[in-house]
Amino acid sequence: MAQQTEVLIVGGGIWGLSTAYHLAKSGQKDVLVLERNEEIAVETTPQAAGLVGQIRSSATMLNAIRYALELFSQFPNETGHDTGLRQTGSLMVALTPERMEAYGRQIERSHRNGIEADFVSHAEMARLAPALDVSKVEGGYFVPNDGYVDPQQCARAYAAAARDLGVQIQLNTPVTGFRQRNGEILGVETENGLIESNQLVITAGPWGATLAKKLGATTAAQPIRHQRVRTVASPGIPDHHPAVRVTDVSCYLRPDKDGYLYGFFEPTPVSIDLEAMPSNFRTGDIEPPVKVMAEAQRRLVPTFPILKDLEIAEYRRGMTTFAPDGAYLIGPVPGIDRLYLATGCAALGIAGSAAVGRWLTNWIINGSPGEDLGMFSHQRFGAQAADQDWLRRESEQFYANYYGIRADE
């Protein structure tokens, strides 16, 4: 007989595990997570920086980050599992007067939304991040309630809490196909046979759109390389050191394992065509980002000269997924009942994981996400979503200008 479950989640990364946890917490019984690898959260999740910042251009994402910070901070007491949240704030560094003007507008909007954020002196920036050469910066502002997590630790905390509530996680189980009838999902095919389900959720990160295509669904999600490095230990990094964003050079930096983790948004993005890759392609098969991270170092050294002399301890071969407008792609898949797809993390997958899990849970249990998520609709691009050249071009442009000064700031 075929294996059966009520809710089947394809993809054991942080979005799938958050969804499993939220479903179980809401009382949903019989939830099964399928992961193709030998461990959970070993593809794109551990490659992320894990930044959790509240400065967002939409109320929807602002509320999502607020929920994440609340959940991450309360998780150890509520579940006994630690997400690894370090709530040391965000320091936003400006190198130009134009950026300072944009920061002023961000602060005004933040205050209207109840977020604590204010300009800080050069002396305070030096206290927060002692390795920062403040003589090279125009100014900056600080968001004290922001933070960051260890992405893999956070994902494993979701998984452990979900298991405690009865969720089953099945490893080494790649999906080879889908079973549907008359526009209704019935389950998935695996090497070990059919797994039937009443509700199916695809949270397979960059592979989400490829899996949905097997069902005849078109999703406007473009995988793009996004890589970072961790340096060897550097004495003197204080416990209060915040995440730092040097947006004028598209870079970010935070402490990690007694060294610095840093990365940047490449001005000439490199898209990855997963459909052209072999079925066993993994994130670890991406070429180590030696040249890319040398450019990131070159960009950061004027403000963080210490990086010039710190050897690289680890290269992280990352991959993120962007829609042309940089917003998530989440919700029911048009034309197929009881099928949900969440992808397009847009380099905000860890911070958004809590809300994504809650939204999908509300959809499955209540038939609605609980708020207007039209901005994430799979249908918002219409027929253009099938134009691969347009999708790649527009998604790469959004990625390349991720830290650009936008008209709405």
pLDDT > 70 fraction of the chain, expressed in percent and rounded = 99
Secondary structure of the chain as H, E, C letters: CCEEEEEEEECCCHHHHHHHHHHHHCCCCCEEEECCCCCCCCCCHHHCCCEECCCCCCHHHHHHHHHHHHHHHHHHHHHCCCCCCECCCEEEEECCHHHHHHHHHHHHHHHHCCCCCEECCHHHHHHHCCCCCHHHCCEEEEECCCEECCHHHHHHHHHHHHHHCCCEEECCCCEEEEEEECCEEEEEEECCEEEEEEEEEECCHHHHHHHHHCCCCCCCCEEEECCEEEECCCCCCCCCCCEEEEHHHCEEEEEECCEEEEEECCCCCCECCHHHCCCCCCHHHCCCCHHHHHHHHHHHCCCCHHHHHCCEEEEECCEEEECCCCCCEEEECCCCECEEEEECCCCCHHHHHHHHHHHHHHHHHHCCCCCCCHHHCCCCCHHHHHCHHHHHHHHHHHHHCCCCCCCCC
pLDDT > 90 fraction of the chain, expressed in percent and rounded = 97
Whether residue 375 is predicted with pLDDT greater than 80 in this model: the reply is yes
pLDDT at 407: 67
* Segment 217-273, tens digit of pLDDT: 999 999 999 999 999 999 999 999 999 999 999 999 999 999 999 999 999 999 999
Whether residue 1 is predicted with pLDDT greater than 90 in this model: the reply is no
Alpha carbon distance 189, 153 (integer Å): 30
Tell me the whole-structure pTM to 2 decimals. Answer: 0.97
Alpha carbon distance 407, 409 (integer Å): 6
Whether residue 397 is predicted with pLDDT greater than 90 in this model: the reply is yes
Place 2 in a pLDDT band, splitting at 50, 70 and 90: confident
**Tokens linked to 394:** 């527009």
Give the domain ranges of the chain.
3-77+151-223+323-400, 88-147+224-318
* Segment 379-396, tens digit of pLDDT: 999 999 999 999 999 999
* Segment 291-316, tens digit of pLDDT: 999 999 999 999 999 999 999 999 99
pLDDT at 347: 96
Choose the CATH number for 88-147+224-318 among 3.90.1170.50, 3.30.9.10, 3.40.50.1370, 3.40.50.1980. 3.30.9.10
Place 409 in a pLDDT band, splitting at 50, 70 and 90: low
pLDDT at 406: 80
| pLDDT averaged over every residue in the chain | 96
Residue 309: CB atoms within 10 A of its CB come to 9
pLDDT at 25: 98
pLDDT at 408: 61
Using left for φ > 0, alpha for ψ between -120 and 50, and beta otherwise, residue 60 falls in: alpha
Place 358 in a pLDDT band, splitting at 50, 70 and 90: very high
AA letter at 65: I
Alpha carbon distance 91, 121 (integer Å): 11
Q: Which of 375, 13, 37, 391 is nearest to 202 (CA)?
A: 13
Check if CATH label 3.50.50.60 holds for domain 3-77+151-223+323-400.
yes
pLDDT at 213: 93
Are 347 and 320 contacting, i.e. CB atoms less than 8 angstroms apart?
Answer: yes
Q: Do domains 3-77+151-223+323-400 and 88-147+224-318 have the same CATH topology?
A: no
* Segment 25-56, tens digit of pLDDT: 999 999 999 999 999 999 999 999 999 999 99
pLDDT at 289: 87
**Tokens linked to 331:** 């919700």
